[in-house]
Structure 1
């Protein structure tokens, strides 16, 4: 595939490089922030064979190109001539809603290091499997080193988020890292156990902010305003060091005195609400979210929940609700493969179904959703139904997620508890198989549209 040629066509169709304010990518999507979305020829882009679909959400013009997205991204960057990144500030011709801004901000902060985050999750799952099977023991040097790698992304989460948030909010990412690092400095963590700890006689309700998500993000957001303020008031000859200095010595105490305690309290309340919904009836929760989670991901609304799941995982070592979503991936794969099997006369659709169905089992569902299920509509519905029904065993067997890593068959590593395989792990396996079977059966016998049935033998 000529990635440069496709990138050239995409860039032309979005209104040329002059219309591109910023661009980045996730696992399957090129995420453009355009100066004027009206200049983009959406219908022309949809006709491109490489493009699986288009999503306009949160101020982003997202073009789904599949697992080769990084090659397309590099080709686009080469054509633009400078690496425009969506975290460096955005221009929008239309005022975005508060909800769009929140979702766009969260996704913009997490997207840059999702690959590393997933890699650490996979490693954590492999180590849990090694301990459970007796291949490794916790006191072994190889385990200690690899476990340090696997846990580092969580332990130093405020530093990573500090850097990503600073870029998103438009100032030096190294300053953001220092702010995040200050919150988890060893003496600060030690002070968390001291009842009477003050800063200039002001009581500080310090907590252990290692592995936390929201405190660093909110602090850096506040720091972005302080940074701009101090840049205005400081003489240009001393801005180089004085602006970062003032920003740090104001924002970090502010985080420890006000932002951290308040944000942690709010996060705890939201997590309690989510757990209450889950504990009220895991089965009802599975039916309500197991399949429709796919819609939330498509719309980008899942970013409202991801930080809460990560916070719970960091605080308790596991999180329950994401355990209900494992059937969803396989239900989608089953529906896609059913379309491939039934499309005996449509060779192109059959080939697309087989390739994207296998890709979905391996963990990437968007090419199949946008390339196969959505265009045919009814298979999309059967996939959602299968995802909800398939989630029931996971709900009944108490499936929990102990790491955020890959999805699909590699995602089973996420369900291995640190002390070994439990019933929840088997619940994840059963749910995945049930989702795959139901997705295939419901689609094959009910979900194929009438026009497609005329083409099938």
Structure 2
């Protein structure tokens, strides 16, 4: 097999060098950002012996070649085009230019929330385990497992704390991930999340109850502004907006 010939055929089939914006590869695939994915000949690409399949996702055109072979084809493609290899991250960034505004918005949310999914899933699984221990009529009629086996009550309480932590302190996770996505310092984003769930602030869960009961809400009077001392426990949108503002100000200050 001539890897140079394969690279030349792939380049021609994607619409030529002028249609290629960025190139990278993973273990099995070429990851390309094309200026216009409608150019070239898809049937020719799919019928090549070296090509095992093609698909477009997230603004990237990916050509499946196979482990080991993809490196050699990629090296020849670099030599032919004179383009330097981009990192997978660079390719992802460039691929957004081919997306419409809705796709860009969805990708932004995906970049923020996908990294924190393991923490949310772990918390959800522990919530389920706690429910098994505390639900009545599951093992014993009219009683829960820990009602009958009180020696496990402490374990249930500990699991409940572990389970609620990712949800109670969710703004910290979102702040870290969102600030990183928006180009700011992720640790500043986490610190901002900590401010929004600081124990000195009234819990967002208690705020409606306090209003309903007619209780006075603690507040600050600063420069003529009346600011309630209420946190954003468990809230998502306030943290996203705050992280975006934080990252925007930080990037501006860096330039200055």
Is this a same-fold pair by TM over 0.5? yes
What's the counterpart of residue 120 of structure 1? 123
- Aligned partner of residue 57 in structure 2, secondary structure: strand
Q: Distance in 2 between matches of 1:207 and 1:97?
A: 37
Partner of residue 395, structure 1: none
Q: Answer yes or no: is the 8 Å Cα contact 2:123–2:163 preserved in 1.
A: yes
- Alignment partners' CA distance in 2, 1:98 and 1:123: 37
- Matched residue SS, 2:146: coil
1:388 matched residue in structure 2 = none
Quick one: distance in 2 between partners of 1:33 and 1:119? 32
User: Per-residue displacement from partner, 1:400-434 (whole Å, max 9, x unpaired)?
Assistant: xxxxxxxxxxxxxxxxxxxxxxxxxxxxxxxxxxx
Partners of 1:136 and 1:82 in 2: CA distance:
57
The aligned residue for residue 199 of structure 2 is 186
Do 1:89 and 1:168's aligned partners in 2 also have CA atoms closer than 8 Å?
no
2:237 equivalent to 1:227? no
Contact 2:218-2:229 at 8 Å conserved across structures = no
Structure-2-length-normalised TM-score: 0.59
Contact 1:124 1:150 in 2 (8 A): yes
The residue number in structure 2 matching 1:104 is 107
Contact 2:60 / 2:95 at 8 angstroms: preserved in 1? no
TM-score by length of 1: 0.35
Decide whether the 8 Å contact of 1:176 with 1:220 is kept in 2: yes
Aligned partner of 1:210 among 216, 233, 236: 233
Q: Distance in 2 between matches of 1:83 and 1:140?
A: 51
Distance 2:119 2:248 in 1: 29
- The structure carrying a bigger strand percent of its residues is 2
Alignment pair present for 1:142 and 2:155: yes
| 33 and 151 in structure 1: CA distance in 2 versus 1, 3 angstrom threshold | farther
In structure 2, runs of 5+ residues without a counterpart are: 1-9, 72-84, 139-143, 211-216
Q: 1:155 to 1:33 in 2, by over 3 A?
A: farther
Distance 2:145 2:89 in 1: 43
Residue matched to 2:23:
19
Distance 1:199 1:98, change over 3 A: farther
Q: What is the deviation of 1:136?
A: 2.9
Go from structure 1 to structure 2 and tell me whether the alpha carbon gap of 1:196 and 1:100 turns closer, same or farther (over 3 Å shift): same
In the aligned structure 2, how far is the partner of 1:98 from the partner of 1:168? 17
CA shift for structure 1 position 156: 0.8
Q: Would you tell me which structure has more helix in proportion to its own residues?
A: 1
* Gaps in structure 1 of 5+ consecutive residues: 1-11, 24-29, 64-71, 234-457
- SS where residue 172 of structure 2 aligns? helix
Which protein has the larger Cα radius of gyration, Structure 1 or Structure 2? 2
Q: How many residues align?
A: 193
How many Å apart are 1:142 and its aligned residue?
Answer: 0.8
- Give the direction of change, closer, same or farther, for the CA distance of 1:98–1:157 in structure 2 (3 Å limit): same
